[in-house]
Amino acid sequence: MIDFHAHLDLYADPHKVVRECVARDLYVLSVTTTPSAWSGTAALTKDAPRIRTALGLHPQIAHERKGELALFERLLPEVRYVGEIGLDGSPEYQRYWPDQEQVFSRVLSLCARAGGRIMTIHSRRAATQVLDALAMEPRAGIAIMHWFSGTQRELARAVDMGCWFSVGPAMLAGNKGRALTAKMPRDRVLTETDGPFAQVDGRAAWPWDANLALEVLSNVWSESIETVQCQLKRNLRRLISHGSACGGPPNFGG
Ligand SMILES: [Zn+2]
């Protein structure tokens, strides 16, 4: 099972969540929202080869943390995964739009200069602008659109640009999310939860709730759960082997 976008450091007891992920043999991409959170978050999982920590600077706090871009640049050679990064066009973050754009474009250009990275990307209400920024930096690496909620037209553009997608139970609970997922290339889809931000049954999602996405994918694709699981595992393997051309140390064992 795979949770390719979880905020392990933001759970009340991150160590307990990590232990449970290890016990369940979960592959997890543990994302961070600030460069200063990276070292502590990576240390949480030093004995968990299936959990990798991504270096991020979340668009919702870009205005507060843009001073950490220098730290981002210093840490980048140590990582293979970058995220959570992106843009957020929601009304409450609109006033910080110039900061968001500055941080995102800087992060993409640093990734390009470093040889490319595997990136998990936030694009709420900003899919077109995120795709525009990615188009400006085609060497930034492999973009995985997390919880994509753009239009069908924006999705088609993302697919044409070679983007991957991670989909979770919260996104798949709605008709729109399912309709978008149906149009994603099956060989570029992974599961995620976005826990603890995303909710499942009125509570914060756990990384192992990625399981719930399997059932929906099985319906959307008209395939058995086993076939879906094989497809996702194959996708992860391909992403990682792709990503070995993307700089940084080899990662994600198991
Ligand atoms: Zn997130």
| Residue-range domains of the chain with CATH | 2-243 (3.20.20.140)
112 phi and psi, to 5 degrees? -65, -45
The pLDDT, as a whole number, for residue 229 is: 97
| Token pair recorded at residue 144 | 């995985």
Binding site per annotation, positions: 5, 7, 84, 122, 146, 194
The pLDDT, as a whole number, for residue 244 is: 58
Cβ–Cβ under 8 Å, residues 18 and 48: yes
The pLDDT, as a whole number, for residue 253 is: 44
Give, as residue ranges, everything with CB less than 5 Å from ion ligand 1: 84, 194
> Per-residue pLDDT for the chain (254 aa), expressed as one digit of tens each?
999 999 999 999 999 999 999 999 999 999 999 999 999 999 999 889 999 999 999 999 999 999 999 999 999 999 999 999 999 999 999 999 999 999 999 999 999 999 999 999 999 999 999 999 999 999 999 999 999 999 999 999 999 999 999 999 999 999 999 999 999 999 999 999 999 999 999 999 999 999 999 999 999 999 999 999 999 999 999 999 976 555 444 455 43
Strand partners for 51: 28
pTM: 0.94
- Give distance in angstroms: CA of 120 to centre of ligand 1: 9
Residues 6+ apart with CB under 8 A from 74: none
- Give distance in angstroms: CA of 223 to centre of ligand 1: 28
The pLDDT, as a whole number, for residue 248 is: 47
The pLDDT, as a whole number, for residue 29 is: 98
The pLDDT, as a whole number, for residue 242 is: 76
Rounded CA gap, 245 and 58, in Å?
25
- Give distance in angstroms: CA of 191 to centre of ligand 1: 13
The pLDDT, as a whole number, for residue 160 is: 98
Rounded CA gap, 216 and 225, in Å?
9
Residues 6+ apart with CB under 8 A from 159: 183, 184, 185, 188
Rounded CA gap, 19 and 191, in Å?
20
The pLDDT, as a whole number, for residue 64 is: 97
- Give distance in angstroms: CA of 106 to centre of ligand 1: 20
- Give distance in angstroms: CA of 226 to centre of ligand 1: 27
